[in-house]
Structures are given as C-alpha cells and as structure tokens.
C-alpha cells in the first residue's frame, strides 16, 4: 500500500481546497460548467483507454514468455503515455488536468501488475513491482485474462465516477456527496467473479480494492476544476 500511496502523490489536490468546491465523491469536484464537464469527461474516457493500452503492453510481453524484452515494453508504455498527454492536456481545458500525466497512469498500472503476474520466477521489469514472467503458456493465458478484466474494471469504476458527476452537475448539488459507492461495489463484485483456474496466486479482492482506491484518488486529477478558482494547477493559489 505504501507504493500505491506514493504513486498518487502527484495527483493529490491540497485538502484545504475542498472548502471552495462541491464534491460528488470523496475527491472529484462537480464540473463548474458545460465546457469544463466536456473536457473532464473526455479525460475520464482517455484514462480508461490508456490504462487498457498499458495493460496490453504487459499482455504482449507475458504472451511472449519473456522473449519480448523490457525495452520493448517500456517503449510501448511511453507511447501510450505520450498519446494520453496529447489528447487530454489541451489549451482549452482546465490546467489542473495536466496534474494527471500519462506517466502516472503507467506507474499505477505497473504497480498493480505484480498482483496479476504473480507466478514464475523471472522478474517482469525494473518498474513493474513484483510482477513475474509467466512460467508457461497456460499460466500466461490465465493471468492475461485477469489483466484484461482489470482493464474492464477500470472502465466500470470510471463510468461510475462519470455517472455521478453528470447527476451532480445536472441537479446542481450544493453539499459534498458520495453516491457512486454502490456502483463501484457492483463493478468490483463482477470482477471478483473472474475465474482464476490456472493462476491461483491471483488475489481478485485485493486487486479490486486497490484499483478502486487508486482510481478514487486519481479522480481528483480528472474532475479537478474548482468553481471559485481556488485551485491553480491543482494547488491552492
């Protein structure tokens, strides 16, 4: 959990700034206008796409059983991060969106990879936590299935955030609320039904809870623009 906490420091907004904004969950700020909402909804969609593409970099390496080297994986991840930054960090969108960088998303997915690729004895890479190259094709197939499901879980949880943000924006809430937890719980429950036959070291509940925690904290790097202008690039101005 220390690694997870360290990874999200770059997207944490100063807590004192909460006084100036209304939140639709623990961290996300209700969009202040339609233009802001459009940018933030786009950013949320790009987070999902980038997370799945980083996972695909891992899946490809796992399928090769280590024949695809770490350098190739790093190049794949760097390209995903650059594409995310180019699509999200636009001049017409809130500057606070630049606090959640593509490299941060790569680091988050890498940190989770050890819980997915837990069999074998050969380390996946220097920045992939405790992830290991699957020892055989059967294990790789099972662990890659879990990795794909994690990508779907990311999409489902962020969809919960977007839905809650849209409702909060439409109804113009004036006090902090946290209405997306039942949606997130349902998404995690669906993920935890994933079959792990062939990769029994995978702990689905741990992965689900860590994914939710990471995405909840990262949500303040997506739905981040304060109506009062109290934030300047994610910090108190």
Q: Express each pLDDT in 60-109 by its tens digit.
A: 999 998 888 889 999 999 999 999 999 887 777 888 888 889 998 998 88
User: What tokens does 35 get?
Assistant: 């233009």
Residue 234 lies in a domain: no
Domain count for the chain = 1
Residue 12 lies in a domain: no
Residue 80 lies in a domain: yes
Instruction: Answer whether 23's CB lies under 8 Å from 176's CB.
Output: yes
Global confidence as pTM? 0.85
Residue 82 lies in a domain: yes
Distance (Å, whole) CA 72 – CA 232? 37
Q: How far is CA 171 from CA 1, 24, 66, 180, 200, in A?
A: 36, 11, 51, 15, 45
**Residue range 121-155, pLDDT digits in tens:** 888 877 777 899 999 999 999 999 999 999 999 99
**Residue range 18-58, pLDDT digits in tens:** 445 889 988 899 998 999 999 999 999 999 999 999 999 99
Instruction: Answer whether 127's CB lies under 8 Å from 109's CB.
Output: no
The closest alpha carbon to 65, from 4, 158, 16, 135, belongs to 135
Residue 83 lies in a domain: yes
User: What tokens does 32 get?
Assistant: 């202040």
- Angle ∠(120,123,125) on CA atoms, nearest 5: 145
Start-to-end C-alpha separation, the chain: 30
Query: Which residue(s) pair with 232 in the sheet?
Result: 235
Q: Which comes out higher in pLDDT, residue 211 or 234?
A: 211
Residue 170 lies in a domain: yes
Q: Which domain holds residue 86?
A: 32-227
Residue 18 lies in a domain: no
Residue 79 lies in a domain: yes
């Amino acid at each position: 959990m220390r690694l997870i906490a360290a990874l999200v420091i770059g997207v944490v907004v100063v807590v004192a700034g909460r006084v100036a904004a209304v939140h639709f969950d623990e961290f996300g700020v209700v969009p202040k206008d339609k233009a802001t909402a459009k940018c933030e909804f786009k950013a949320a969609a790009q987070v999902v796409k980038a997370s799945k593409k980083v996972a695909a970099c891992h899946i490809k390496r796992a399928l090769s059983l280590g024949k695809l080297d770490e350098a190739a994986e790093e190049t794949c991840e760097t390209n995903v991060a650059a594409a995310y930054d180019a699509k999200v960090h636009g001049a017409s969108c809130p500057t606070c969106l630049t606090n959640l960088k593509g490299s941060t998303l790569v680091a988050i997915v890498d940190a989770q990879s050890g819980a997915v690729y837990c069999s074998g004895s050969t380390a996946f890479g220097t920045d992939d936590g405790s992830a290991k190259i699957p020892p055989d094709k059967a294990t790789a197939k099972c662990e890659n299935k879990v990795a794909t499901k994690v990508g779907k879980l990311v999409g489902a949880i962020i969809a919960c955030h977007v839905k809650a943000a849209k409702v909060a924006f439409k109804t113009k809430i004036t006090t902090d609320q946290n209405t997306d937890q039942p949606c997130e719980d349902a998404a995690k429950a669906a993920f935890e039904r994933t079959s792990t036959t062939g990769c029994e070291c995978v702990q689905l509940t741990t992965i689900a809870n860590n994914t939710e925690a990471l995405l909840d904290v990262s949500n303040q790097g997506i739905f981040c623009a304060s109506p009062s202008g109290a934030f300047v690039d994610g910090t108190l101005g």
